[in-house]
Amino acid sequence: MGHSSGRYRILPHTADGKFQAYGATLEEAFGNAALATASLMWDWTKVEPRTRYAVHMKARDLKQLLVKFLGEVIYLLETRRFLLGEVAGLTIEREEASSRIEAVFIGDALADRYALFGDVKAVTYNEMKIEESDCGRYTVQVVVDM
């Protein structure tokens, strides 16, 4: 938990899990947010790359897209027993009335060699931010219900 080589930072929040994820592009920041979500439940750096899931979804705006994208990490854990270890090929298309995301989640099936230490129930809009700084770096901030 905590820092992971500049990808994200876990922040204090009374009841839930809060983090900021960073990237040179919006895509990178979203990918790091998925790893930050995983980091609240397991050590994604130890997950072996054995299984892949194609992830694609659309939403009415970027915030909803982020909620749905991160929700996929929880959904795949609960229904496929899948642990995310890496996000590849992430693309985001932004249009006026909808946004789309595509990515490949790479990881492994839950097994005894992996430890689960937290339960993320849902991704929320609470204190959510998606920001581009003056120097062109992206920060997303998310609170998840735990």
User: Binding residues for another protein, how many (CB under 8 A)?
Assistant: 41
Q: Is 7 in the site for another protein (CB under 8 A)?
A: no
Nearer to another protein, 60 or 94 (CB): 60
Angle subtended at Cα 120 by Cα 119 and Cα 125, rounded to the nearest 5 degrees: 160
18 bridge partner residues:
11, 143
Nearer to another protein, 88 or 129 (CB): 129
Residue 141 Cβ vs another protein, minimum distance, rounded to whole Å: 14
Q: Is 38 in the site for another protein (CB under 8 A)?
A: no
Q: Which two tokens stand for residue 98?
A: 């909808």
The region, left, alpha or beta by phi > 0 then psi within -120 to 50, assigned to residue 73 is alpha
Residues between 104 and 143 with contacts to another protein, criterion CB under 8 A: 110, 115-119, 121-126, 128, 143
- Cα distance between residue 29 and residue 16, in whole Å: 21
Residue 13 Cβ vs another protein, minimum distance, rounded to whole Å: 5
Q: Is 49 in the site for another protein (CB under 8 A)?
A: no
- Amino acid in the structure at residue 1: M
Question: Which residues touch 111 (CB under 8 Å, ≥6 apart)?
Answer: none
Phi, psi at 101, each rounded to 5°: -135, 140
Q: Which residues bind to another protein, rule: CB under 8 A?
A: 1-2, 10-18, 41, 59-60, 63-64, 67-68, 71, 74-75, 77-79, 81, 110, 115-119, 121-126, 128, 143, 145-146
